[in-house]
Structure 1
Amino acid sequence: MIRATQVKPQHRWTETPADTVVLDFDDRHRRRTAMTGTRGLAFLLDLEKAVALRGGDALVLEDGRLIEVVAAAEPLVEIKGSDPHHLIRVAWHLGNRHLPTQIMAKALRIRRDHVIETMVKGLGARVIEIEAPFDPEGGAYAEGSAHGHAREDHAHHGHAHGNHAHHDHAHGDHDHDHHAHDHDDHDHEHGHHEHHHGHSHAHDHD
């Protein structure tokens, strides 16, 4: 099986991709796993270390062809505050729990989690259920990222959201990156391509 051994970050490639893989947040944090593109091209992702992929990145096959990465839509909640200061306060509480959080211009996005949603509502924020690609801030989950973030090589395997004991991943010096600060202009809307889901993953969690 042909291997994909490199990653080209978004906006740094212009070639027409040979195929596309549609991956959710967890599946975009892999080092070695078999993948099949939406048009049927099967290949083995085989990187030196786990990389945090983002929608718009490209996987480079051994023969030079590219596979475009598309961030799959998944169940999320969008959190809105009464003003920027209120939203920052909510972001601090999410960061304090090391929850992967996507920071938008006027909102925060997290994966659906009834415990956290109740907490957020208790802080006076509005919670809206949506389906969208999830592209959280880098930090404790980004070692080896094609985007220069520091992520843990083993992050996001077996997370049961809502049970906060699962965030016990030796964050070490990276803890501060995950405490969402005032990044109101970071509206990361990556990977909004109109592709259909056609991915299959045989995970080899190295």
Structure 2
Amino acid sequence: MIRATEIHAREAHFHPDDTITLDEMQRHRRRMAMVSDGGIAFLLDLAETVRLRDGDGIGLDDGRILKVKAKAEPLYVVRGQNATHLLTLAWHLGNRHQAAQILEDHLLIRREPVLRAMLEGLKASVIEIDAPFDPEGGAYGGAHVASYDHGDAHAGHEATPHAHD
């Protein structure tokens, strides 16, 4: 079986031979059998667990490179009434160990009706969308420095997803 043991950062210049579309959970792996969008079967076999990001490349041992595409997932856009309120909402989510993507004026979290009820009870605005999810990696490894540079990685988040009220 073809093996993948090398990851190319999305900032690196590479020419992909195919793509692989993965949700956030599938993009946080060390070892797993996978199939590219074009049908290339391979074994992801990394030395340690890696959080793959949209645009990263997976290097196959036959020389081909697969470009990672982040799959849209059912999420909530969470907005506060002001910055302090948003920080309070983030604290409540963190207190419940919920993965969250932190953006300048809102949070993205996975859809969960109990959380929605809690957030709305705390006077948050909660909107359903389908979008790629790239949560913070955590304090004990796995955090990615580029998570604070949301320029091109998150451009159009709210224009592209299908928003529902």
Answer whether TM exceeds 0.5 for this pair.
yes
- Counterpart amino acid of residue 4 in structure 2: A
- Could you tell me which residue of structure 2 aligns to residue 45 of structure 1? 44
Report deviation, 1:65.
2.2
SS of the residue 1:120 aligns to = helix
What are the residue-to-residue correspondences of 1:61-100 with 2, within 5 Å? 61-100=60-99
Residue of structure 2 in register with 1:190 after alignment:
153
> Identity percentage over the alignment?
49
Q: Deviations over 1:118-171 (max 9, x none)?
A: 11111110100000000011115854x7x479xxxxxxxxxxxxxxxxxxxxxx
State how far apart, in whole Å, the 2-side matches of 1:15 and 1:66 are: 8
> Which SS does the other structure have where 1:3 is aligned?
strand
Is 1:3 matched up with 2:3? yes
CA shift for structure 1 position 189: 6.5
Paired with 2:22 and 2:92, the residues of 1 have a C-alpha distance of 28
Q: State TM-score, norm by structure 2.
A: 0.84
Does the 8 A contact of 1:103 with 1:187 survive in 2?
no
Q: Do structure 1's residue 17 and structure 2's residue 16 form an aligned pair?
A: yes
- Post-superposition offset of 1:63: 2.8
More strand by share: 2
Ranges in structure 2 where 5+ consecutive residues have no aligned partner: 156-165
SS in 2 for 1:43: strand
Once the two structures are superposed, the pairs formed by residues 95-134 of structure 1 within 5 Å of their partners are 95-134=94-133
Equivalences, count: 155
Structure with more contact order per residue of length (Cα contacts < 8 Å, sep ≥ 6): 1
Take 1:109 and 1:34, find their aligned partners in 2: how far apart are those partners? 29
Q: CA RMSD in A?
A: 2.4
Structure 1 unaligned spans of 5+: 150-182, 193-206
> Quick one: which amino acid aligns to residue 33 of structure 2?
A
Give the whole-Å Cα distance in 2 for the aligned partners of 1:72 and 1:115: 24
